[in-house]
Amino acid sequence: MSARESSALPAVVEFRNVTKTFNPGTPREFIALRDVSFRVDDTPGIGEFIAIVGPSGCGKSTILNLIQGFSDVYPPTSGEVLVRDRVVEGPGRDRGMIFQKYTSFPHLTVRQNVTFGLELNRAELGLSPSARDDLAMEWLGKVGLRGHEAKYPHQLSGGQQQRVAIARTLVLSPKIILMDEPFSALDEPTRIEMQRLIMGIWQAVETTVFIVTHSLAEAVYLGDRVWIMTPAPGRLGKQIIDSIPRTRGEDPLVMQEGRAFKDAVAEVAQVFRDLEKAGRG
């Protein structure tokens, strides 16, 4: 596919002058986002990973929730949120969300957690019970949980619980994956392990991913581009692309020792500090 044909495709996600104000007209009014505009184009055969960093309360998670269409955040106060040229009307199977907190159903086994979404969408998917089970087991294999399918979430470690969440999300083949600080509750070795996992899976499924993270090193390792947001009301203060090293297929521990990687993290950190300082001023 030529560059011209690619640019003619509808944007995967587009924000048009989006402002989100919570509790408007009350003493608790808070402007989370103000006039945010961006466009993420389709990248056929690759998919793109966008990492979002910024100070607490700057609207990072609000961006993800608006893309997903969650009713406690959506719609925007003004502006438009579009997914493939269609205004978002609510949550959809084409968008999958992975949260910081483990979100498995405690009364369901690991396998039942992964088949839950398949069962909810069984009419649209047209899958038989056995096909749903087979697909769930396929994804449990991909995230390294074969042999744990009969366990309940409380019997798993934190990293294993997050693997369940990843399998439950990706089994539905979403075109957009939204990740809200998915690894922040994990210890550092497990976090590195999860970064390896999600990088490998992402390359296989070739989908668009947005991740909110407080780790600048994680943003540089996972992101094709890094968005740095201003303090609230949040805006996209700067986008860094050219200096982000190519990490596809590379081990995070090896990459983090490289000069290019360290320089990119330092650049992101400096921009972060500059934007935060300007916001306070």
Which has the higher per-residue pLDDT, 85 or 1?
A: 85
pTM score, whole prediction: 0.92
Q: How many domains does the chain have?
A: 2
Query: pLDDT-based confidence at 163, cuts 50/70/90?
Result: very high
Length of the chain: 281
Domain extent, residue 264, equals 3-94+177-186+197-280
| CA–CA dist 175, 11 (Å, integer) | 12
Which has the higher per-residue pLDDT, 100 or 26?
A: 26
| Consecutive H or E run containing 14 | strand 13-22
User: Could you give the angle at the alpha carbon of 215 between the alpha carbons of 209 and 220, nearest 5°?
Assistant: 60
Closest CA to 197 of 157, 167, 227: 167
251, part of any domain = yes
pLDDT in tens, 25-66: 999 999 999 999 999 998 777 789 999 999 999 999 999 999
Note whether 222 and 265 are within 8 A (CB).
Answer: no
Which has the higher per-residue pLDDT, 151 or 8?
A: 151
CA distances from 193 to 3, 68, 138 (A): 35, 27, 20
Residues 205 and 272 in one domain: yes
Residues 10 and 90 in one domain: yes
Residues 19 and 155 in one domain: no
74, part of any domain = yes
Q: Please report, for the domain that includes residue 273, its CATH number.
A: 3.40.50.300
Residues 148 and 248 in one domain: no
